[in-house]
């Protein structure tokens, strides 16, 4: 069940304040992360966050885990861990596996450690070699649990996204496309720090608003239960949510969408180039 309107509003981070409540961080705090203190640039730190989340998604999918709840919870565990620990002390690769391992237990979708390792080695053989041992996963699991202070109950944005979409009185097929695109956008945002800045409910609202725009409509043109003139649909869930926050989340989502598209294109180009460089064997004809 989603948090109540008053609960969300009371935990909403004001970007102007140096606030940190329930693992929500201000911009200044994000720029003071341990890895940055250790000399890593912001681009390098964000790149490793993205790579770690890609591992979680790839390995998680091959283990038949869903984005909601397990993979999304693993993403959040991973991001929170590196707000306390440094990438220079804890490799992102093993932390990604540890986050997925912990999330599997907390979301009641546990996987055996040996299966996790075997899947990781199959999915990313260059990152996870034969030297990877269960003790490495168990050690990072312990570090994660100690770091998060046993705070392992998560609300992911997928559930409120579906709840909010159902409040609109529109054709099911039309809303289906909006929700599918919004769901994809949430996945694209996995490597960003949005969930370290905003509540899941707020992210769901902003992403749904963005998805409406993608399909050339706005929520104001639609009907929902209890609609009143001059009142936004999301005010029934979150009070005092500014347009500025919605826009900031939307811009971050679009940036992630664009960057991930470029990353994928570059990856495919490199794979194609590698194929072209492979020597071709053509058997000689015998007379």
Residue pair 51/92 in contact (Cβ under 8 Å)? The answer is: yes
Closest CA relative to residue 194, chosen from 255, 108, 280: 255
Mean pLDDT of the residues in the chain? 87
The answer to the question of residue 6 being in a domain is: no
pLDDT above 70 covers a percentage of the chain that reads 85
Q: Are both 165 and 264 inside the same structural domain? A: yes
Q: Are both 29 and 143 inside the same structural domain? A: yes
Q: Are both 194 and 141 inside the same structural domain? A: no
How many structural domains does the chain have?
2
Per-residue pLDDT, 280: 54
Q: Are both 248 and 184 inside the same structural domain? A: yes
Q: Are both 132 and 162 inside the same structural domain? A: no
Per-residue pLDDT, 9: 42
Q: Are both 49 and 92 inside the same structural domain? A: yes
Q: Please report, for the domain that includes residue 135, its CATH number.
A: 1.10.472.10
CA dist 161 to 31, 133, 142, 203, Å?
29, 38, 32, 9
pLDDT tens-digit series, residues 211-234:
999 988 888 888 887 888 888 999
Q: Which domain holds residue 218?
A: 158-274
Q: What is the pTM of this model?
A: 0.85
The answer to the question of residue 11 being in a domain is: no
Rounded-to-integer distance, Cα 193 and Cα 50, Å: 10
The answer to the question of residue 20 being in a domain is: no
Chosen domain end from 128, 147, 166: 147
Phi–psi pair at 224, nearest 5 degrees: -140, 160
pLDDT tens-digit series, residues 1-44:
344 444 444 444 434 333 445 799 999 999 999 999 999 999 99
Identify which has the larger pLDDT, 271 or 188: 188
Per-residue pLDDT, 15: 40
Could you count the other beta carbons within 10 Å of the beta carbon of residue 124? 17
Identify which has the larger pLDDT, 175 or 196: 196
The answer, yes or no, to whether residue 276 has pLDDT greater than 80, is: no
pLDDT level of residue 190 (50, 70, 90 thresholds): very high
Q: Are both 125 and 230 inside the same structural domain? A: no
The answer, yes or no, to whether residue 174 has pLDDT greater than 50, is: yes
pLDDT above 90 covers a percentage of the chain that reads 70
The answer to the question of residue 98 being in a domain is: yes
The answer to the question of residue 1 being in a domain is: no
The contacts of residue 78 (CB under 8 Å, 6+ apart) are: 49, 52, 53, 56, 95, 96, 99
Q: Would you call 220 helix, strand, or coil by DSSP? A: helix
pLDDT level of residue 279 (50, 70, 90 thresholds): low
Instruction: With residue 263 as reference, give the H or E element that holds it.
Output: helix 243-277
Token pair for 233: 């649909």
DSSP-assigned beta bridge partners for residue 168: 224
Phi–psi pair at 168, nearest 5 degrees: -90, 140
């Amino acid at each position: 069940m989603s948090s109540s309107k008053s609960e969300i509003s009371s935990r909403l981070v004001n970007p102007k304040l140096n606030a940190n409540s329930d693992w929500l961080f201000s911009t200044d705090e994000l720029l003071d992360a341990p890895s940055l203190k250790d000399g890593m640039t912001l681009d390098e730190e964000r790149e490793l966050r993205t790579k770690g989340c890609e591992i979680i998604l790839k390995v998680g999918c091959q283990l038949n885990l869903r984005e909601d709840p397990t993979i999304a919870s693993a993403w959040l565990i991973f991001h929170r861990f590196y707000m306390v620990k440094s990438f220079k002390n804890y490799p992102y690769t093993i932390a990604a596996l540890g986050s997925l391992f912990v999330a599997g237990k907390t979301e009641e979708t546990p996987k055996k450690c040996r299966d996790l390792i075997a899947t990781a080695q199959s999915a990313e053989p260059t990152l996870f070699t034969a030297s990877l041992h269960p003790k490495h996963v168990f050690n990072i699991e312990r570090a994660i649990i100690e770091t998060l202070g046993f705070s392992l109950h998560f609300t992911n944005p997928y559930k409120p996204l579906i709840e909010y979409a159902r409040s609109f009185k529109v054709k099911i097929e039309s809303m289906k496309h909006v929700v599918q695109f919004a769901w994809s956008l949430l996945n694209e945002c996995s490597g960003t720090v949005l969930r370290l800045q905003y509540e899941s409910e707020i992210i769901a609202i902003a992403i749904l608003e963005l998805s409406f725009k993608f399909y050339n409509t706005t929520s104001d043109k639609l009907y929902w239960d209890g609609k009143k003139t001059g009142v936004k649909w999301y005010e029934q869930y979150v009070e005092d949510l500014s347009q500025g926050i919605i826009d900031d989340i939307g811009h971050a989502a679009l940036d992630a969408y664009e960057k991930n598209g470029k990353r994928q294109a570059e990856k495919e180009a490199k794979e194609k180039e590698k194929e072209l460089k492979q020597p071709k064997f053509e058997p000689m004809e015998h007379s």
